[in-house]
Structure 1
């Protein structure tokens, strides 16, 4: 969820979550997007050699035990103009915190691997054999699937720089390269999207925004039915709960994981705005709550939805008009829930209390990630879990 009352930019639009209309390789990104949204990227799911029969693998819930967490080290001064040091400090903080609970592997470019190792410390493993463009591992990394019998494979969602808005020459290959490093089968999904755009409950139900998935910048000419079928095939699911979302106001076209999350089959969470907030983001959150509260799971059961109160944007530390103050963008790792705090002490404390109640037996840790929030994302956005099998 964004700060309300965004001022217009010189071109008449609104300031975006990740400043996607920068000059950082936009022309190249557009060319990459055109290629990525062509017929080959939109072909039916193509199982790799050794992949089990369709339907045997499914993406588990995020709270299952993890083998490790994958992250990526940002080093582009073109993308992070004047802000790179702060972003790197936040990424290092997140990585070191998660490493207290499970192994973390950080992908870094060879030229910046030494700095990544220095800031992350010895508890984080930094490798420089898989190059990256940026830090958004939730969107660029592979989606891991299990089959309940010790099998593990991966799916790539055809990342195209959020519809050509950012250069992704390296990031477009991250999912497949991680799979190859692990020796795991890799399947290219029958759609273009990002991991942050799709939430799963691990029992056959997905949720997503139409604005992000059913969008010509990712999936031109595709119908909702076609994309729903592709999502279900990729995730091993059978039902999608759709929210309208918001197109064109941020680089992600309104990723669901900043607002709504699954807690378990039949249980969800939506971050709610203040009653006085009436911008498009606040109304979007209210719509997501209404829809999720009246939806059923793939098994036909009702969904109990918890309200997670968001902060007062006029009481948080950051004054960035692009700031994303999402408690809901937390990451569940082994034994802990890693979330954010923004300086609205009342809201921060209430969010911690809510998450502690929702995740009994896990330690809730709140981090100051204001640089990342000003860059348009959160902790879930920069992590990707590999489940244990």
Structure 2
């Protein structure tokens, strides 16, 4: 955990809770990728994506990138107020392959296109590696490139200079061999306006089998500066329990860019929903998405959904908590946050 006061010309990544101009998503279409081991069918996954998109569209515009081969299925399931944008893609994780939007007080909006390599070369990505740039081109926005291999799900910011990430992702040799923390922190400072990066261990032994190697959006999420919702488990003896404890310990020891210690609010995972035969299952309620006036919450049709909704309602009293069933998406290892990417409104508000 180090401070980095590097000048970046005034660009910064706003917190997720600022007013959005739109939410970006990518429509799932690659049958081979989804049905090769996730115990789901592509139509089931498309229904989950559509539920998330239609829920968000109640609160703000949704821009859905659609591979030309899948326009018909997207039109059939997405509401008429969801804009479909034809761009050739490999996969459907817009949080990771899409751009990270940044804002400037005078120069407006731009975006960062990370070097996306499909979580360390785990999947085909010849089209997705350029998705961030193509989305920014579509919007007519400046694109900032970087040699850093990163994904949007690997970082959380509070909009006040603090960034949280995990060592198991960014220091992984499958992402950034030979690059150290200081070099990464300089990039975050220059491109995102970050003054302090907090490093959590993540999932260093890869006990979860998570394709991302331990993205932070499955570990914790900001409710507001200084307050974090933290993934927790009731099963204290599981291998994941130790992972959760170590990440919580790192947060307890940390201070943010303004020297504040964090208030930590436990958000217990949906352990009852986990399919024991699944290769991987995203049961983290911290993988929610903050939309304009709403919290789009992952739901699984179990009693824990109600408890999670109550915690989120207390953490975000000014927003409507909207549970959305994602059981099939969860079999693919992702949640609501994984498939969404916010585009802030400019000037930044909220």
Q: Given the two structures, how large is their TM-score scaled by the length of structure 1?
A: 0.82
**Who is 1:294 aligned against?**
253
Query: Would you identify which runs of 4 or more consecutive aligned residues in structure 1 move more than 6 Å?
Result: none
* Residue from 179, 183, 194 that aligns with 1:222: 179
* Alpha-carbon distance in structure 2 between the residues aligned to 1:309 and 1:317: 13
2:297 maps to which of 326, 329, 339: 339
Q: Give the equivalent residue in structure 2 for 1:71.
A: 25
Q: Is the 8 A contact 2:20 2:344 kept in 1?
A: yes
Q: Secondary structure at the match of 1:78?
A: helix
Residue in structure 1 matched with residue 343 of structure 2 by the alignment: 386
Contact 2:281 2:333 in 1 (8 A): yes
Residue 218 of structure 2 corresponds to which residue in structure 1?
258
Give the corresponding residue for 1:210: 167
**What's 1:349 paired with?**
306
Say which SS state the counterpart of residue 80 (structure 1) adopts.
helix
Question: Which structure has greater strand proportion?
Answer: 2
CA distance, structure 1, for counterparts of residue 52 and residue 233 of structure 2: 25
2:33 aligned with 1:94, yes or no? no
Q: How far 1:277 sits from its partner (Å)?
A: 3.6
Q: How does 1:158-177 map to 2 (within 5 A)?
A: 158-177=115-134
Counterpart residue number, 2:265: 306
Rounded to whole Å, the distance in 2 between the matches of 1:173 and 1:190 is 13
Aligned equivalent of 1:246: 203
Deviation at 1:256, TM superposition (A): 0.6
**3-state SS, counterpart of residue 307 of structure 1:** strand
Unaligned runs of 5+ in 2: 1-6
Contact 1:154–1:187 under 8 Å retained in 2: yes
CA distance in 2, matches of 1:277, 1:62: 34
Aligned partner of 1:5 in structure 2 is: none
Q: Does residue 1:198 correspond to 2:152, yes or no?
A: no
Q: Give the unaligned 5+ runs of structure 1.
A: 1-52
Give the whole-Å Cα distance in 2 for the aligned partners of 1:371 and 1:136. 14
Deviates more, 1:53-62 or 1:152-161: 53-62
Kept after mapping to 2: 8 A contact 1:113/1:127: no
- 1:273 is aligned to 2:233: yes
Map 1:181-192; keep pairs closer than 5 Å.
181-192=138-149
* CA–CA separation in structure 2 for the residues paired with 1:245 and 1:263: 20
Aligned mates of 1:272, 1:298 — CA distance in 2: 25
Match of 2:192 in 1: 235
1:178-211 Cα offsets, whole Å, 9 max, x none, are 1111111100134111000011111111111101
* Cα separation, 1, equivalents of 2:100 and 2:122: 22
Question: For 2:277 and 2:19, how far apart are their aligned partners in 1?
Answer: 36
**Cα distance per residue 1:218-241 (max 9 Å; x no partner):** 101111221222223222101111
* Range 331-340 or range 218-227, more displaced: 218-227
Distance 1:387 1:134 in 2: 24
- Is the CA contact 2:164–2:216 (under 8 Å) kept in the aligned structure 1? yes
1:79 CA displacement: 0.2
Q: Give per-residue Cα distances to partners, 1:270-299, cap 9 Å, x unaligned.
A: 0111143421x2212112212112211111
Q: 312, 324, 328: which one pairs with 2:286?
A: 328
Query: In angstroms, what is the RMSD of aligned CA positions?
Result: 1.5
Residues in 1 aligned to 2:338 and 2:305: alpha-carbon distance in whole angstroms: 19
Tell me how far apart the structure 1 counterparts of residues 332 and 295 of structure 2 sit (CA, whole Å): 22
In 2, Cα distance between the equivalents of 1:342 and 1:220? 38
Partner of 1:112: 70
Aligned partner of 1:372 in structure 2 is: 329
The corresponding residue for 1:285 is: 244
Q: Retained in 2: the 8 A contact 1:318–1:370?
A: no
* 2:32 alignment partner, SS class: coil
Residue deviations 1:105-143 (CA, integer Å, cap 9, x gap): 111111111210111121211111x21111100001110
Partner of 1:121: 79
Distance in 2, matches of 1:259 and 1:156, equals 24
